[in-house]
Amino acid sequence: MRCGYCKQEGHNRRSCAALAASEGVCGCPIVTGDSVRLFRGVGTIEGCECKSCDLFRLYNVPTPEIACQILKDKEIAEKLAHEENKWPEMIIINKTRAPIFIYVNGAEPEFKQSIEADTGFKIKYVNPFEEDEISNYIVTDHDYGLKAIFRDIEPKHILKLVSVEYGTKEEITITQEASSVEDKWREAALKAQYLLHQLDRLGVKNNPNYEPIMDMIQDIQYPPYSEQDKERAGVTSGFTNIHETTGINES
Ligand SMILES: [Zn+2]
Ligand SMILES: [Zn+2]
């Protein structure tokens, strides 16, 4: 089926939107002296912006065939864009030295994803997005377990708030600068602790001038920390290197 009026396929003259638009009536008054003329064919007044004239031009200018072809192309392009937009893409890359965690703020409270250091994660969707749909995520440097909800998450552990909506195509990199101040203190403290240990190993304690200071250093209380924390502070590898070097020298 091809329309005799606009030459497009899929409908005929009777159901042709372009033909219907061309038969519309423009009701905008033309005032000439004392007389007012109302109701005439659409497109009579050059540039009239009434609804009927707009519709007429949309479907009929320059010709019904060209106008309708343009509309069809536009429709196809919009459909393709919609197909693309309803599946948004968000990739979060962890460039900190510790795992980070993504929590969803909203409909799925049990969503949690951990991202190891130097890896990325692409958020996958099972259902397409509506045009006004939005998903919000919180990236933290603290593992709150599986059932964390938004109000449980402390601001100091929030690295980034991420929004994914219809049409989003984005890649977000979480850097060390974003990681929490607490982590930086832990790192600094473990580095200092390591260096003080080295002083001890070098025999500083045997010098009576330094002995009282070294005793005080012994008394410093460190909150619990893990091997992983040490690795992050770069001190485990420090020990490893010294050990390896000694090994080579001995052999
Ligand atoms: Zn038609
Ligand atoms: Zn008009």
* Domain-located, residue 212: yes
Q: Write the DSSP assignment of the chain as a string of letters.
A: -B-TTT--BS--GGG-HHHHHHT-EE---EEETTEEE--EETT-STT--SHHHHHHHHHHSS-HHHHHHHHHHHHHHHHHHHHHHTS-EEEEEEESSS-EEEEEESS-TT-EEEE-TT-EEEEP-SSPPPTT-EEEEEEESS---TT--GGGS-GGGEEEEEEEETT-EEEEEEEGGGS-HHHHHHHHHHHHHHHHHHHHHTTGGGSTTTHHHHHHHHTPPPPP--HHHHHHHTHHHHHHHHHHHHHHHH-
Ligand number, closest to the Cα atom of 43 = 2
Ligand number, closest to the Cα atom of 47 = 2
Whether residues 171 and 190 fall in one domain: no
Q: How far is the CA of 5 from the centre of ligand 1 (A)?
A: 5
* Domain-located, residue 8: no
Question: Over the stretch 49-64, which tens digit does the pLDDT of each residue have?
Answer: 899 999 999 999 999 9
Whether residues 110 and 166 fall in one domain: yes
How many C-beta neighbours within 10 Å does residue 70 have?
Answer: 13
Whether residues 116 and 151 fall in one domain: yes
Q: How far is the CA of 10 from the centre of ligand 1 (A)?
A: 9
Q: How far is the CA of 9 from the centre of ligand 1 (A)?
A: 8
Q: How far is the CA of 129 from the centre of ligand 1 (A)?
A: 33
Pick the last residue of a domain from 50, 85, 120: 85
Q: Enumerate residue ranges in the chain where pLDDT < 70.
A: 106-110, 147-150, 178-180, 236-251
Whether residues 123 and 110 fall in one domain: yes
Whether residues 145 and 157 fall in one domain: yes
- Is this model's pTM higher than 0.85 or not? no
Question: Over the stretch 155-194, which tens digit does the pLDDT of each residue have?
Answer: 888 888 899 999 999 999 998 776 667 777 888 898 898 8
Whether residues 167 and 201 fall in one domain: no
Whether residues 166 and 118 fall in one domain: yes
* Domain-located, residue 4: no
Pick the last residue of a domain from 70, 85, 100: 85
Residue 142 near residue 101, CB atoms below 8 Å: yes
Q: How far is the CA of 55 from the centre of ligand 2 (A)?
A: 10
* Domain-located, residue 169: yes
How many C-beta neighbours within 10 Å does residue 188 have?
Answer: 11
Domain that holds residue 101: 89-177
Ligand number, closest to the Cα atom of 55 = 2
Ligand number, closest to the Cα atom of 50 = 2
Q: How far is the CA of 131 from the centre of ligand 1 (A)?
A: 30
* Domain-located, residue 251: no
Q: How many domains are contained in the chain?
A: 3
Ligand number, closest to the Cα atom of 48 = 2
